[in-house]
Structure 1
């Protein structure tokens, strides 16, 4: 598998203050990159840059040796970004949210597949409950269901452990490790130690 995201001399300035500058990053298959730092240090900003969500930065991004701007479609087809907020609609059910995400990505999936994915996340019996009636942890689990439902080689995850219980933490750590072991790659911001996910790289901001 060819998978390599490179950032060279990355920098981002906000309100006349550099969040970070001169940052070099390389993410290859089989790797987990953990990004840490205090609040306001630029962790979310960095992830949005790496995911192609922000253009207001200095430096350069390359995907498999080519400028990201020239291979944006190929990159998007290989990357899944989950932001700090769950990013689910309170008015839709878990099944409806997942169906919407799959349609947005141009994917065709069955309701049976979505139900099975939700069951693996411990959400069996809640498939048709409006998201707004679920707890914060359950909403986070719905969002994380996309990891198994939407196959992507590169996962860019902003604080994915927020609001989930210890069982969910253990399951997610195992999922990150399994993804890397299978040749995928993960970039994750978290204050969590990731004891079981075995991060191979670490960047501390701030």
Structure 2
């Protein structure tokens, strides 16, 4: 992909939930190395916008253009099964998203989030923060520069987990990736703001 080409474009995007208009007229062009902080009050449509950007719905108006390829979406929920081990869970997530699933990749991704010593532990035995780390480890196994769409990625993380995630985000941006991140807290990395509450 040409580094100067847009990675993701939202053109005059509008979204409805039932009869309620969540947002309209949203425009955004993201290029390599861009981090955009998606802000808005609860119910303003942040998650809906991320889902539209990922191709998991149709906008009420406007269009989504994905010249950088299909984005990687990591939702607010972790989508993990309690009965699987940490390694099995990550292996499954990588397979669902068409990523490399070999043992070395799984081990390296878990190690990035301090989970190597828990690889045989069942998800049901983990804290909420540890579960979040398992879900985030999928990003560490993604070697492409496609945009990352992240919904409250820091939720439940302690200082160590936050540091690991921020380091991974910085690496993705340095390598030509881009990030659209919905969060109630300002990211520690420099970027732009897309505020759904703005008039």
Q: 2:134 matched to 1:142? A: yes
> 1:69 is matched with which residue?
none
Q: 2:129 matched to 1:126? A: no
> 1:75 is matched with which residue?
69
Q: 2:62 matched to 1:59? A: yes
The answer to whether the 8 Å contact 1:177/1:198 transfers is no
Report deviation, 1:54: 1.3
- TM normalised by structure 1 equals 0.87
> 1:174 is matched with which residue?
167
Query: Where in structure 1 do 4 or more consecutive aligned residues deviate above 4 Å?
Result: none
Q: 2:102 matched to 1:102? A: no
Report deviation, 1:56: 4.5
Q: Distance in 2 between matches of 1:46 and 1:95?
A: 31
> 2:181 is matched with which residue?
188
- TM normalised by structure 2 equals 0.90
Q: Distance in 2 between matches of 1:166 and 1:52?
A: 33
Report deviation, 1:46: 0.4
Structure 1 segments unaligned to the other structure (5+ residues): 65-73
RMSD: 1.6
What is the number of equivalent residue pairs in this alignment?
Answer: 193
Partner secondary structure for residue 140 of structure 2: helix
Structure 2 segments unaligned to the other structure (5+ residues): none
